[in-house]
Copies of this chain bind each other. A is one copy, B any other.
Amino acid sequence: MVRKKQGDKENAIIEAAVKVFSQKSYHGSTTSEIAKEAGVAEGTIFRYFRTKKDILSKILIKVIESYAQTVVVDSLREFLTNYKDSNANEKEVIKALLRERLKVIEANLPLVKILFTEIQFHPDLRKVWVEKVVRPSMDVAVAYIEKKKKEGKIKAEVNAEVATRSFVGMVFFMVLSKLMLYEKLDLSLSESGELDQIVDILFEGIAARTIKG
């Protein structure tokens, strides 16, 4: 029922839809709920979006494009930049990268929830996500790891794809756990020590260094 300042109806609807979709899922939400939440009449929604599905698509395309930009293009640059600070080692680079990335995720938690839920049920949107974000990200990550393997910083026997997916899984699940267990993300992930611990595990594992090596 929040009155938005004029001209921004489309945004108000998008924001309302993000909120409602993330709470009730796409199919569990009603255009009338979205309208109420956006503070507009139900008919107004259809001046901005042809169908309900169109709202979802526009939301997800937006996220995907924003991710495609920040994750793929920008993180590449970041890698290279940090590289120049050559005394920062790989772990520190990854930690910094992760911290920054989690800030974005934290700021858009409902969007992330919608993304991971709805992508399962809308193959058209999943396709875009995979092509624009998953594959390019994986390429960047794999290239990075391969380079580090050549530099002797990462074990030669590590499979770059598996390592990448493991890392993303750790992070993703951390976010998911907090999201589902604590309902609200009171403890800021990006500032939690957990983040550092995850990267430590990724790099050094949990096993004690026995004298066996």
Which residues of A come within 8 Å of B, CB atoms? 23-28, 90-91, 113, 117, 119-121, 126, 130, 134, 145, 152-156, 158-159, 162-163, 165-166, 168-174, 176-177, 180-181, 194, 197-198, 200-210, 213
Alpha-carbon distance between A206 and B146 when the two chains are bound, in angstroms: 12
CB of A167, distance to nearest CB on chain B (Å)? 8
The answer on a CB contact under 8 Å between B203 and A207 is: yes
The answer on a CB contact under 8 Å between A121 and B209 is: no
- In the complex, which residues of chain B have a beta carbon less than 8 angstroms from the beta carbon of A205? 200-205
CB of A52, distance to nearest CB on chain B (Å)? 12
The answer on a CB contact under 8 Å between A162 and B197 is: yes
- In the complex, which residues of chain B have a beta carbon less than 8 angstroms from the beta carbon of A170? 165-166, 169-170, 173
The answer on a CB contact under 8 Å between A163 and B121 is: no
* Residues A204 and B202 in contact in the complex (CB < 8 Å), given A119-B180, A121-B25, A180-B126: no
Alpha-carbon distance between A203 and B154 when the two chains are bound, in angstroms: 15
The answer on a CB contact under 8 Å between A113 and B120 is: yes
* Residues A168 and B162 in contact in the complex (CB < 8 Å), given A121-B28, A202-B201, A207-B154: no
* Residues A120 and B180 in contact in the complex (CB < 8 Å), given A27-B25, A27-B28, A172-B169: yes
CB of A158, distance to nearest CB on chain B (Å)? 5
CB of A98, distance to nearest CB on chain B (Å)? 13
The answer on a CB contact under 8 Å between B174 and A173 is: no
* Residues A206 and B173 in contact in the complex (CB < 8 Å), given A28-B121, A134-B181: no
List, sorted by A's number, 26 A–B pairs whose CB atoms are closer than 8 Å.
A23-B121, A24-B27, A25-B120, A26-B27, A27-B28, A117-B120, A126-B180, A130-B181, A134-B181, A153-B208, A155-B206, A155-B207, A162-B194, A162-B201, A163-B206, A165-B173, A165-B177, A166-B173, A166-B198, A169-B170, A173-B173, A201-B202, A202-B206, A204-B204, A204-B205, A204-B207
User: A196's closest neighbor in chain B, by CB?
Assistant: B162
